[in-house]
């Protein structure tokens, strides 16, 4: 499983190597995502959309497709450490709702003290905290939310220099449609 220390969409635990395509330009709070996994989130600017290659989904049983939407100082295709600021939502489509629920439960094991949440009809868990400074980066606040609704699983990641934007971005997320 992946973790907040890895960069690139964590894709519910797997490192993402992505093909980058521009997302539709939009203001904060707009709707994003593929037709099968639409969501709303208050990105600080228009996110970059990335198609997750099928080879990256091989470790996720039943995964059919995945997309990442991010605003970050580090390119989406980078596998370096997560850095602030980063705002990212990953949506993964599975064959069944049971598979989506299971992968969210498994991915959440990487984080201590997960709190149960409900986001727009999706049930999930979230964790917020502070990552200590390293030789490569300054300390930063972060949050991660894993949720599923039907056969879709969502991962929401935010890392910022200060704590206040973290819960605001996590709370802005909700699946739509």
pLDDT at 14: 41
In this structure, the number of other CB atoms found within 10 A of the CB of residue 73 comes to: 10
- The DSSP code for 44 is S
pLDDT at 108: 83
pLDDT at 81: 59
pLDDT at 82: 67
pLDDT at 4: 34
Q: Domain map of the chain by residue range?
A: 11-175
pLDDT at 75: 55
Q: With a cut of 70, which residues of the chain have pLDDT below it?
A: 1-29, 74-82
> CA 126, CA 113: separation in Å to the nearest integer?
9
Q: Which CATH code, of 3.40.1000, 3.30.1600, 3.40.630, 1.10.10, is assigned to 11-175?
A: 3.40.1000
């Amino acid at each position: 499983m992946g973790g907040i220390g890895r960069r690139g969409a964590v894709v519910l635990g797997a490192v993402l190597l992505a093909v980058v395509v521009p997302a539709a330009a939009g203001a904060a709070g707009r709707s994003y995502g593929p037709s099968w996994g639409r969501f709303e989130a208050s990105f600080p600017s228009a996110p970059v959309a990335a198609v997750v290659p099928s080879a990256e989904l091989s470790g996720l049983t039943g995964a059919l497709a995945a997309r990442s939407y991010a605003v970050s100082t580090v390119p989406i295709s980078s596998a370096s450490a997560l850095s602030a600021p980063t705002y990212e939502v990953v949506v993964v489509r599975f064959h069944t709702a049971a598979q989506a629920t299971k992968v969210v439960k498994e991915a959440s094991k990487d984080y201590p003290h997960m709190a149960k949440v409900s986001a727009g009809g999706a049930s999930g868990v979230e964790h917020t905290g502070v990552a200590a400074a390293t030789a490569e980066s300054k300390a930063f606040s972060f949050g991660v939310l894993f949720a599923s609704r039907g056969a879709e699983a969502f991962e929401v990641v935010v890392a910022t220099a200060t704590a206040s934007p973290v819960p605001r971005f996590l709370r802005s997320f909700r699946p739509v449609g």
